[in-house]
Amino acid sequence: MKSKVETGHARNVENFKKLIQTVKPFSLYNPSMKEISLESLEEMYKSAHYVVMDVERKRKENSIAIHKRQQEYKRLKPLATRLYNMAAILNLNEGDMEQIKSLRNVIQGSPQTKRKISAMERQSVRAYSTSRQSFTQLA
């Protein structure tokens, strides 16, 4: 089992809990400021603990949603290839096949055909990625 080391806000909330536990045994603890009384500190801890737990729950939900989306999109690339192959069997005209091939390349992130660049042009031209692999682009 993986050990889980808390960082950030969760760690601060746990340290706050330790502070409250340290102050509780002191029966003479009676601050003049109401904001730092034991009851007020415990109320702040409950509120902070609730928020940390809520964030953790939402993080887990988000992680599950991302995993489900990745599983759904995993089937998209082979489907694009199958559709292209089916279209090739149907002997569609050249223009339609080029459009289907272009869409397949966009979905699969295949690079576009590169034109020949001379050595002089290569030094001045920057290469940009043509891959569109984000889930937003694929949708």
Does the pLDDT of residue 139 top 60, yes or no?
A: no
User: Whole-angstrom Cα distance, residue 46 to residue 13?
Assistant: 9
Weakest-pLDDT range from 4-8, 11-15, 82-86, 97-101: 4-8
Which residues 6+ apart lie within 8 Å of 73 measured at CB? 135, 138
Residue 9 confidence (pLDDT): 87
Which residues 6+ apart lie within 8 Å of 19 measured at CB? 41
Structure tokens at 51: 């928020």
Q: Which amino acid, 123? A: Q
Mean pLDDT of the region 64-70: 93
Structure tokens at 13: 């909330």
Structure tokens at 81: 């290839």
First to last CA, the chain: 36
Mean pLDDT of the region 60-66: 95
Identify the CA nearest to 108 among candidates 72, 138, 63, 64: 138
Q: CA Rg, the chain, in Å?
A: 29
Residue 58 confidence (pLDDT): 96
